[in-house]
Amino acid sequence: MNELEDIEIRLLLEGIFHYYGFDFRRYAPVAIKRRIQNILYLEQLATVSALQEKVLHDRTFLEQFLNYMTVNVTAMFRDPQFYLTFRHKVIPLLRTYPFIRVWCAGCSTGEEVYSLAILLYEENLYHRCRIYATDINETVLRNAQAGIFPLRLMQEYTQSYLQAGGKQSFSEYYTAAYDHAILRAFLKENIVFSQHNLICDRSFNEFNAILCRNVLIYFNQSLQQQVHQLLYDSLCLFGILGLGNQESLNLSHQERYYKQLAGRERLYQKIS
């Protein structure tokens, strides 16, 4: 049964790639299988072949499928030490540029993007920044662009903000409306939200800093190498790369072209 299911999964992923252009074929097999089994349960489908028929013959289901397949676990100032280190070690480097381009790749619902915008604002750099926030999933991009989050999370976010070196009252950055927190409009002014597929799309600019955190862990080794090359090609010389705390440049072909700024926080600087 497991062998048959593995064959069905391969056929499903091939079909989605050839028909829609979304390539999940080189995601980590264990993660893919777990997500597909979850979809079968939620959609009350008996087999992966039934899922294949549904997604290939019902284009309206594709968006729901992508929501299932893409991981959207995030939070504002998640891993506060990362942002504190970014504030102390990266901000002084960014100050040397007349204009700053930052790419948040795999931005999900936008919490990381707005965290960065707040940090740059407090360091008096936001007015000369452009943050490009991209994700494969258009639904989460629409949510990110709205900048509206559950009010119940603000206490947790406030603690993370303070641990990340926040300089003001976090409540100044949002307005409470019923059970939602609406981020201040000025935080969106220098953010460009756009769909981008790390697997098959190319570099679209040269950046002073790239954050691609907690994305690569879902890819197999060959796909990680491909994305590392894309990130390297997209960084300017002496640009900064930020990865998730379970990710690193170890064993990547690009490792020798970076120096470590903060190993524990996975911050690297391109040096050649």
* Contact (CB, 8 A) for 51 and 94: no
Burial 112-133 (b: 16+ CB within 10 A, else e): bbbbbbbbbbbbebbeebbbbb
For the record, the structure tokens of 108 come out as: 């999900």
Q: Kindly report the pTM of this predicted structure.
A: 0.89
Instruction: Tell me what pLDDT residue 144 has.
Output: 95
* Contact (CB, 8 A) for 131 and 190: yes
Instruction: Tell me what pLDDT residue 72 has.
Output: 67
Give dist(CA 193, CA 49) in Å, integer.
35
Instruction: Tell me what pLDDT residue 71 has.
Output: 67
DSSP reduced 3-state for 215: coil
Instruction: Tell me what pLDDT residue 67 has.
Output: 84
Instruction: Tell me what pLDDT residue 70 has.
Output: 78
Contacts of 230 (CB under 8 A, 6+ apart): 198, 202, 203
- Strand 180-183 and strand 191-195: the pairing is unpaired
Give dist(CA 106, CA 103) in Å, integer.
9
Instruction: Tell me what pLDDT residue 8 has.
Output: 93
Q: What is the pLDDT along the chain (272 residues), one digit of tens a residue?
A: 588 888 999 999 999 999 988 888 888 888 899 999 999 999 999 999 999 999 999 988 988 898 888 766 789 999 999 999 999 999 999 999 999 999 999 999 999 999 999 999 999 999 999 999 999 988 899 999 999 999 999 999 999 999 999 999 999 999 999 999 999 999 999 999 999 999 889 999 999 999 999 999 889 889 999 999 999 999 999 999 999 988 989 878 999 999 999 989 999 999 99
Helices (H) and strands (E) in the chain, counts: 10, 10
- Strand 174-177 and strand 180-183: the pairing is antiparallel
User: At CB < 8 A and 24+ separation, what contacts does 16-21 make?
Assistant: 16/55, 16/56, 16/65, 19/56, 20/62, 21/197, 21/200
